[in-house]
């Protein structure tokens, strides 16, 4: 992740409702949550929810899938991991292993990086 992409992702999260939606989707895990349930749980009107989900999706933070008449949204854990890696890349006087291990350990509790993300990380 580069500065421009990180700025877009951080801007999407820099709004109360979107941050709440993203945190809810992180809690839900890879299966995600139906849009109607997100609306109910967070007490957000459907039209407002659609706007915020569109912004999160544009930033690459959420993915959607249709199942019958329902649309399910889930957090993009690869994007979240990329942002966390970007934010900590140059920490600890150029020796970020300790903080990166902490992030990777935390993420491994719920999801493991895809082979594509692993390959990209090994090149950097």
Kindly report the number of other CB atoms within 10 A of residue 59's CB atom.
21
- The DSSP letter of residue 100 is H
Q: Structurally, how many domains does the chain consist of?
A: 2
Tell me the C-alpha distance between 50 and 88, whole Å: 31
Q: Are residues 15 and 31 in the same domain?
A: yes
Taking the complete model, does pTM exceed 0.85, yes or no? Answer: no
Q: Are residues 71 and 107 in the same domain?
A: no
Does residue 45 come out as left (phi exceeding 0), alpha (psi in the -120 to 50 range) or beta?
A: beta
Tens digits of residue pLDDT in 16-37? 999 999 999 999 999 999 999 9
The helix (H) or strand (E) run that includes residue 73 is strand 70-75
* Domain of residue 24, residue span: 3-75
CB of 121 closer than 8 Å to CB of 78: no
Stronger pLDDT, 117 or 42, i.e. the higher one: 42
Q: Are residues 29 and 54 in the same domain?
A: yes
Q: Are residues 69 and 84 in the same domain?
A: no
Q: Are residues 19 and 51 in the same domain?
A: yes
Q: Are residues 59 and 16 in the same domain?
A: yes
Strand order across the 33-34 sheet:
33-34, 70-75, 62-67
Is pLDDT above 90 for 4? yes
Is pLDDT above 60 for 120? no
Q: Are residues 37 and 61 in the same domain?
A: yes
- Report the length, in residues, of the chain: 124
CATH of the domain at 32: 1.10.10.10
């Amino acid at each position: 992740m580069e500065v421009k992409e990180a700025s877009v992702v951080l801007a999407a999260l820099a709004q109360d409702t979107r941050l709440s939606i993203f945190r809810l989707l992180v809690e839900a895990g890879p299966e995600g949550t139906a849009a109607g349930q997100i609306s109910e749980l967070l007490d957000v009107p459907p039209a407002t929810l659609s706007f915020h989900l569109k912004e999160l999706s544009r930033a690459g933070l959420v993915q959607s899938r249709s199942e019958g008449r329902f649309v399910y949204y889930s957090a993009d854990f690869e994007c979240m991991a990329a942002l966390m890696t970007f934010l900590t890349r140059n920490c600890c006087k150029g020796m970020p292993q300790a903080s990166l291990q902490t992030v990777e350990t935390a993420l491994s509790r719920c999801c493991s990086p895809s082979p594509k993300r692993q390959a990209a990380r090994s090149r950097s």
